[in-house]
Homo-oligomer: A and B are copies of this chain.
Amino acid sequence: MNDQRTGRDVDVLELLDLRIPAESAGVAEAADKVTETLTRLSVPEEKRLVIGLAVQEALANAVVHGCGNDPSKEVRCQVKTNPIGLVLIIVTDPGPGFTSELLPDPSQQESLQMDHGRGVYLIRQLMDEVQFVNGGNEIRMWKY
């Protein structure tokens, strides 16, 4: 895993590589699997909760926006770690992508009562590093 932040190449352990049908039940299931895996690795509860929610959000976006909830489409979720406990999550969908820089800031006063538009913002708050690649249909996010 090439840690973009520190520039080191580090040993990688592949923890999970899931492919789920694009429906919300699959999202919840996959997010739970990620959390369980982190539990087995004795990742502390707080970090687990944070990563679990970020995965939930990323998968939800992949399923809803990337696949339009079409269960015949597939979303991929990879979880990797390295010996020093860094966790990398990659979520990929077959959709059109989007330009994450253009999203409005949901924490602005006039947006606080909106009923959506918080997912990407929340992911950025929860994780230590977030990148959108391939025009936005792949998200890579790191928790140190």
Contact = CB atoms under 8 A, between A and B. Distances in A.
5 contacts: A68-B111, A69-B116, A70-B114, A95-B104, A96-B104
Contacts of A96: 104
The bracket for how many chain A residues form the interface is: 20 to 34
A113 B121 CA distance: 28
Nearest to A111: B68
A93 to B, nearest CB: 12
- The interface residues of chain A, by DSSP majority, are classed as loop
Contacts of A94: 110
B113 A72 contact: yes
A56 B99 CA distance: 27
A38 interface: no
Q: What are the 4 closest A-B residue pairs judged by CB atoms, nearest first?
A: A68-B114, A70-B113, A96-B104, A69-B115
Interface in A83-97: 94-96
A109 to B, nearest CB: 12
Most chain B CB atoms below 10 A, which of A64, A102, A104, A113:
A113
A15 B4 CA distance: 59
Contacts of A102: 99
